[in-house]
């Protein structure tokens, strides 16, 4: 089975979902080239192994090589979701401690935001504000508005990614589209409330995207708590 790769972004972290086997030959070459291409714009990676059935010695060596290459560019790389067979391989080779393998992608992402013993990489930048909105254009506007006001901002258009970022970065402020918050179903509202209990939450009304940009931006800045 050929290795398939699907990449999604959570904040500024590239999460690579792998499916198949990571073995010597075209599979390892494909993963190496994929990460190499992403390095043009990314420095932090999570490789999700939930759907990987087998890793041979060459594939394991590739993962170590990727870690070295990424760290050589002032980035970092973590693994997540390894099944029992791969976990056993990592334990036997003692490479689990080197590569850093976590149960879930959320755990791996959180690890990339904190300094761990033995990791001399610089701390990931602190995040003041997480912005959540279904419109990419609105998110772009919010990011630039808040950046210009001196805030460190990350943004996403999905609630699951937002929850992961909030857990990982513990922002002081969460700016969220009101309609998107209302669309949460099942247990999501309780989870959202739990995750943001220490953050100041600003709901953006439906007219935020259609109001005069200057006035809408001024209202958002005025809604930020003092000292945020």
Per-position pLDDT tens, the chain of length 228 = 689 999 999 888 999 999 999 988 888 899 999 999 999 999 999 999 999 998 888 888 889 889 989 998 889 999 999 999 888 888 877 788 888 899 999 999 988 887 555 555 555 567 889 999 888 888 888 888 888 888 889 888 888 888 888 888 888 899 999 888 776 645 555 667 777 778 889 999 888 888 877 788 888 999 998 665
Looking at residue 103, its pLDDT comes to 94
| Whole-structure pTM value | 0.71
What is the dotted CATH code of the domain comprising 129-223?
A: 3.40.50.2300
Domain boundaries along the sequence of the chain: 4-112, 129-223
Q: Residue 20: what are its φ and ψ, rounded to 5°?
A: 125, -135
**Paired residues of 52 in beta bridges:** 20
CA–CA separation, 18 and 147 (whole Å): 34
Check for a shared fold between 4-112 and 129-223.
Answer: no
Give the up-direction half-sphere exposure of residue 224: CA atoms within 13 A in the CB hemisphere.
21
Q: What is the fold, at CATH topology level, of the domain defined by 4-112?
A: Transcription Regulator spoIIAA (3.30.750)
């Amino acid at each position: 089975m050929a290795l398939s790769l699907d990449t999604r972004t959570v904040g500024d972290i590239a999460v690579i979902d792998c499916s198949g086997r990571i073995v010597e030959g075209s599979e390892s070459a494909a993963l190496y080239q994929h990460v190499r291409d992403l390095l043009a714009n990314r420095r932090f990676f999570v490789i999700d192994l939930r759907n990987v059935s087998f890793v041979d010695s060459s594939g394991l060596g590739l993962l170590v090589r990727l870690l070295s290459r990424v760290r050589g560019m002032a980035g970092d790389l973590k693994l997540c979701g390894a099944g029992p067979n791969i976990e056993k391989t990592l334990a036997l080779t003692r490479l689990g401690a080197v590569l850093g393998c976590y149960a879930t992608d959320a755990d791996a992402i959180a690890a990339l935001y904190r300094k761990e013993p033995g990791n001399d990489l610089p701390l990931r930048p602190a995040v003041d504000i997480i912005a959540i909105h279904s419109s990419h254009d609105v998110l772009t506007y919010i990011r630039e508005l808040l950046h210009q006001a001196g805030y460190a901002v990350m943004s996403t258009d999905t609630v699951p990614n937002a929850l992961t970022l909030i857990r990982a970065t513990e922002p002081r402020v969460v700016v969220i589209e009101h309609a998107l918050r209302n669309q949460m179903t099942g247990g999501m509202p309780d989870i959202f409330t739990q995750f943001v209990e220490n953050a100041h939450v600003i709901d953006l009304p439906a007219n935020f995207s259609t109001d005069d940009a200057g006035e809408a931006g001024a209202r958002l800045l005025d809604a930020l708590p003092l000292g945020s």
